[in-house]
Chains A and B, each alone.
Chain A
Amino acid sequence: MYALRDKYAIAGIGWTEFSKNSGRTVRSLASEACLKAIDDSGLKVADIDGFVSFNFNDSVPAISVATEIGVPAARYANDFLSGGNAANMIVLTAAAVIEAGLAETVLCYRAMNGRSGFRLGGGRDLSAHGITQFTAPFGWITYPQAMAMWCRRHMIEYGTNSEQLGELAVTFRSNAVNNERAMQRDPITMDDYRNSRMIVEPFRMLDICLETDGACAVLVTSAERARDLKRKPVYITGGAYGGGPNQGEDLFDAIRWPDQSHNYAKYIADDLWRSAGMGPSDIDIAQIYDCFTYSVLMQLEGLGFCKEGEGGPFVQGGRIARDGALPLNTAGGLLSEGYIHGLNHVIEAVQQLRGDAGARQVADIETCLTTAGAMTCGSAMVLRN
């Protein structure tokens, strides 16, 4: 029995504009999202006593946000040096921190000038230190190049094809059309996908997410307290974080990973479902980490929505559309809404579970799965209303 099941809740959410060039400091973006999350919950700045965030040395420390917005006493502040794999883990950490008595009201945020500042997709340190000395000298440098190597493995093993990847890109874009936050709202067709420029085979431009400036914040407190606040609580029913053997020396490194045709998801599936007391068939909608189209397939397979290798056919035929059996990435995903390193998936989950998603609302839902991470480690949560 998972000790935290439904004991903690998301009581507030906030976000900034998502853009290509914010013209602002990352700190001010973080502060804006945090202030909006506090306001959304009906609490006051003085009620906040904890912060959890993650960054690639491209954000600001939690204490600097606490300083800017005038938090009187931050009792807990944790900045994980981590990628998108942490975007759900920070929310789970907030619950654990409150359970431990280290804080009572915790803000989780991710803020970045991901397009105008430090570009995750644009390249990495070319000095080739550490594990990078075995990758960068061969021109294997960017995350699209890293993930394309994984995608090819799935194609080799299971015959996965570009039409199946395109289905994800086209479907998520159709969801973004109804999302005022989304960076890309013009509908695309499968022909647009096929004609999209090849970046690194097997990935086209439309297989790759959008580098984004912006911030998201999520306020976590006890479910008991959340029920007395302004908004309908969204309960953290279960969650898990981790990966399998040989997760590598950094996020890029999967040289020793068992096989790139599967990712972290299969290693956390048992923990996730046991913690939530549910299984895949109990999930109404899902926000799946889509830094690339392909990463969605590994997570659907790994978490048991379909068998290993069957992710390609699974996403075809309308199943993942807004009116399908398992609507995915209802805000447009990292591919079309924007890339706040996966925390924007949690914002969308909360809006959907509150019934606040406007034109893109999926009717009659009680549960939403969120995931974070694409490669050797990651995190996932089951949220409910």
Chain B
Amino acid sequence: MTPYNKPLPAENVETKPFWDACRQGKLSMQRCKQCGHHRFPPTFYCPKCNSPEHEWIDSKGLGSVFSWIVVRHPVPRDVYAADVPYVVALIALDEGVRIPSNIVGVEPEKVTAGMRVRVIFRQVTPEITLPLFEPVPEQQ
């Protein structure tokens, strides 16, 4: 099997709790302890009240497609040639933050604005698990 050759997140002291949570199958974000503001990506200070006091809460992992692209031309070619076409989306999570990810489990042509999606987790190396999204199945 060829080694995983795509970019891997280089976690740091601020982002480690996010990637730790992914390893446990949870999508997490910061909530300000002083004003309750949810924020992503992680920061040391709350942009609303400037408090550094925060807690990590679990997202329900549900959201909708805010915008999306379909990558047809692989860059770098040797890394993504086997993956195109693939979908990158900005997902508006129900908790009020946006997160970039891939939409999988659906043909790129079927992705639509506002489409409901839910998080799934894919372990890509022994150390790294990525949060991806797939369409929420239609209610029966």
| Partner-B contacts on A (CB < 8 A) | 122-123, 126-142, 145, 148-150, 152-153, 156, 197-202, 246, 249, 255-256, 260
Contact = CB atoms under 8 A, between A and B. Distances in A.
B10 A139 contact: no
A142 B79 CA distance: 13
A260 B67 contact: yes
Contacts of A133: 9-11, 15
B92 to A, nearest CB: 11
Interface of B: 6-12, 15, 40-41, 47, 66-73, 75-76, 79-80, 83, 86, 88, 90, 98-102, 108, 113, 128, 130, 132
A142 B68 contact: no
Contacts of B100: 134-135, 138, 140, 255
Complex A-B, nearest 9 residue pairs according to Cβ-Cβ distance, in ascending order: A133-B9, A136-B7, A201-B70, A128-B7, A148-B69, A156-B113, A199-B73, A129-B10, A140-B88
B86 A134 contact: no
Nearest to A199: B73
A255 B98 contact: yes
A128 B8 contact: yes
Contacts of A200: 69-73
8 contacts: A123-B76, A128-B8, A130-B10, A131-B41, A133-B9, A139-B83, A200-B73, A255-B98
A156 B90 CA distance: 13
A141 B75 contact: yes
Nearest to A146: B69
Contacts of B67: 149-150, 152-153, 156, 260
A130 to B, nearest CB: 8
B72 A137 contact: no
A150 B75 CA distance: 19
Contacts of B15: 133
Nearest to B73: A199
B90 A145 contact: no
A145 B7 contact: no
B88 A149 contact: yes
A149 B7 contact: no
Nearest to B10: A129
Given A153-B67, A260-B67, A255 B99 contact: yes
B7 A141 contact: yes
A139 B72 contact: no
Contacts of B7: 126-128, 132, 136-137, 141
A356 B79 CA distance: 47
B84 to A, nearest CB: 9
Contacts of B75: 122-123, 141-142, 145
Contacts of A150: 67
A136 B75 CA distance: 11
Contact of B101 (A138, A145, A156): A138
A152 to B, nearest CB: 5
Contact of B6 (A137, A198, A255): A137
B6 A152 contact: no
Contacts of B11: 133
B9 A128 contact: yes
Contacts of A255: 40-41, 90, 98-100
A129 to B, nearest CB: 4
Contacts of B8: 128, 137
Contacts of A153: 66-67
A201 B80 CA distance: 16
Contacts of B76: 122-123, 126
Contact of A139 (B66, B71, B128): B71
B80 A139 contact: yes
A4 to B, nearest CB: 32
A31 B79 CA distance: 38
A255 B79 CA distance: 24
Contacts of A202: 69
Contacts of B71: 139, 145, 200
Contacts of A123: 75-76
Given A149-B68, A156-B67, A255-B90, 16 more contacts: A128-B8, A128-B9, A128-B10, A134-B41, A135-B100, A137-B7, A139-B88, A145-B71, A148-B69, A149-B69, A152-B68, A197-B73, A201-B72, A255-B98, A260-B67, A260-B90
Contacts of B66: 153
Nearest to A142: B75
A137 B130 contact: yes
A240 to B, nearest CB: 24
Nearest to B98: A255
Contacts of A134: 9, 41, 99-100
